[in-house]
Amino acid sequence: MDLFLQFLVNGLVTGSFYALSALGLTLIFGLMRVVNFAHGEMYMLGGILGWFVTARLGLDFFSGLVAVAVIMATFGWLVDRVLIERVRDQGEEPGILLTIGLSIFLANTALLLVGTAPQKIEGPVGNQLVMLGPIVTTELRLFAVATCALLILAAHLVVRKTKLGSAMRATFQDPMAARLAGIKIERVYASTFALGCTLAALAGMLLGSIYSAQVSIGGLISLKAFVVVILGGMGSFAGAILGGLILGVAESMWGGYVSTGLVDIVGFSIVIATLLFKPYGLFSTRSERA
């Protein structure tokens, strides 16, 4: 039983990390209909930048987090205005090709500048053990889970409660009507993409402090994020959270009771099962898919 609880907690912790990593992807897809294959690279850039501003420029973790958010929001804004703007309203394929190209470009540029060595980001709290009854975890992980929850909540509030959020949702429902109502939809698109990139980058820095920040991580992150988004339903916040937790716990249980060597089979099985039985995911934000 103790073992089961430990597996459950391990799964919930990694699950909340998966949820945060997938949030930016689901946001960009749900609101902009752009399938962002460069998502994992945004996560990677967050980790690498986080290492750069803390280890090289000497900022503390939280100032570093703010700096990364500002840089990546600007970067996301520019990517949308300069690149994605040009393929908007041309269907999904040009956007897919564009973001695949962008992901290759970003990964290799980072490889050139930073190199292949994994980098260490100093966490804001120590790595002391925390015993919750029979369950073991660390302070840093609890801190990261709390930060994940805060970031998810903050993103939710931005989309639901602010004027920008209303404009985003209006643009998503009907770009023409939104434009007629005086919404500058170019700005809305750019801020949505910026928000998605920022979330991915913050996840990258936060998790970089627990694991390590490395240039080649992008593909793996994209893969897991797509599993979460397909399971949860494209564009759904609740779906991303639940999808992340389900994936985390399923992987942990599979690893714990079946085989740690075949853990990736879990994600792919979930994707296949979801597409067969519930093709719009657990919480789809619209009934038909483009």
CB of 130 to other proteins, least distance (A): 10
CB of 136 to other proteins, least distance (A): 6
Nearest to 16 by CA among 269, 265, 247: 247
Tokens 């434009």 found at: 179
CB of 216 to other proteins, least distance (A): 6
Residues linked to residue 136 through DSSP beta bridges, in sequence order: 131
Q: Which residue lies nearer to other proteins by CB, 11 or 235?
A: 11
CB of 104 to other proteins, least distance (A): 10
DSSP string for residues in 47-79: HHHHHIIIIIS---HHHHHHHHHHHHHHHHHHH
Tokens 């627990």 found at: 210
Nearest to 189 by CA among 60, 88, 41, 268: 88
Separation between Cα atoms, residue 162 and residue 236, nearest integer Å: 18
CB of 129 to other proteins, least distance (A): 5
3-state secondary structure of 290: coil
Q: Which residue lies nearer to other proteins by CB, 224 or 284?
A: 224
CB of 146 to other proteins, least distance (A): 17
Residues 6+ apart with CB under 8 A from 260: none
Q: Which residue lies nearer to other proteins by CB, 104 or 158?
A: 104
Q: Which residues bind other proteins (CB under 8 A)?
A: 3, 6-7, 10-11, 13-14, 107-108, 111, 115-118, 120, 127, 129, 136, 138, 207, 211-212, 214, 216-217, 220, 251-252, 255-256, 259-261, 263-264
Separation between Cα atoms, residue 46 and residue 48, nearest integer Å: 6
Question: How far apart, in Å, are the Cα atoms of 117 and each of 50, 69, 122, 154, 183?
Answer: 15, 24, 16, 33, 45
Q: Which residue lies nearer to other proteins by CB, 87 or 135?
A: 135
Q: Which residue lies nearer to other proteins by CB, 77 or 254?
A: 254
Q: Which residue lies nearer to other proteins by CB, 74 or 260?
A: 260
